[in-house]
A and B are shown apart, each in its own frame.
Chain A
Amino acid sequence: MKEISSAIQIIPLDYYIVLSGTLFSIGLMGVLFRRNIIAILMCIELMFNSVNLLLTAFSAYHSDPAGQVFVFFIMIVAAAEVAVGLSIVVMMKRNVESVDINLLNRLKW
């Protein structure tokens, strides 16, 4: 365990932050600009995972396991969410025969 965290610490923290920030942004952009729901779901997963990476890095730098514990929580919750999300997508596909997010716009004004 000690070795892993010291191995992680070889790379400066800033790199992790930049990396996960970049990942987060990529996910964000994907959410914003993709119209396929599946792709968007994946982008949200990407954002979650960038957070996971960041947490892990901090956890290692702070020598505090709590961060990594939290990562597990996030993974579980994300799995549950994706399960729900995909079922919603399936349901939607049945109703509108499409996975384009902008097709769903009857609720407005």
Chain B
Amino acid sequence: MVGFLVRRLLSTVLVLIGVSILVFLIMQLVPGDPVRSMLGQAATAERVTEVRHQLGLDRPLIVQYLDWILGVLHGDLGQSLTLSQPVSSILFPKLGNTMILAGGSLLICLVIGVPLGMVAARRQYSVVDRGSMFVALGGASVPVYWAGLVIINIFALKLGWFPTSGMYDTRNPGGFEDVLVHLVLPSVAAAVVPTAVVARMARGSMVEALHADHVQMLRASGVPERLVIWKHTLRNILPPVVNIVGLQAGYLLGGVIFVEVVFNWPGLGGQLYTSITAGDMPMIQAGVLFIALVFVVVNLVTDVAVALLDPRTRKEA
């Protein structure tokens, strides 16, 4: 177990370094010039060069990169070029917000996706099955920026149940409850795709589990269907489900960008999008690094959990 963890963490570090290099290289190619976009229409060439120099953007790439990576190793993520703020002071809150959103969506996709998949599997090829799978699939096949607006229109405008967008009330921002009310619609919108994936996945493994020999043995021993399903089979599909849910958690971190835009949720995705278009190197670097880190950690946790969940692999893990 320990060796396994050590190996994984080591590879994580390598991956992260790789990511930072990859991002750095890609971003060199983005047309956006942070200084230009900072100084706006009236910028003159001479001023631009002056600012570039002040920001050290006129140094050779490798120097810029090493300088940045050294900073990171000292816990300094650097300054945002366009917002002239410490990257951490902007990214940490946004990462938090994205995690809240992702968490909400994950909850939904667990509570709905797994049972949906199981029910579908119980009545394989039935109307229920086809129907629910079609719904799940349909959800994943709609452009979020369109569906999101429809959701807003119905639940925020027509019914007035939830706020249209944002994270806090505008006039008197509240605490947890306030966030919760604002969280509902975006997390539903963000949950659609993962729920679909999880439901289909759950259905798949459920079908498999139901055809397992031991299920027949249980039935032959007079174990009631209720127990067969909700005790034995559920336990059997737990590892694959946990696994897929873990993957979705990773996806949600970067995949909710459209939801963030439509519901004006101040998350990492939206921030990174603007930073990318503005070529704001330090922001993108740090942001992607965060996501990558969380991503890798989530995967690690998932793998360990799966390993622990299955008695057959528990020892090896």
Same assembly: no
Which residues of A are in contact with B by a Cβ distance under 8 Å? none
Which residues of B are in contact with A by a Cβ distance under 8 Å? none
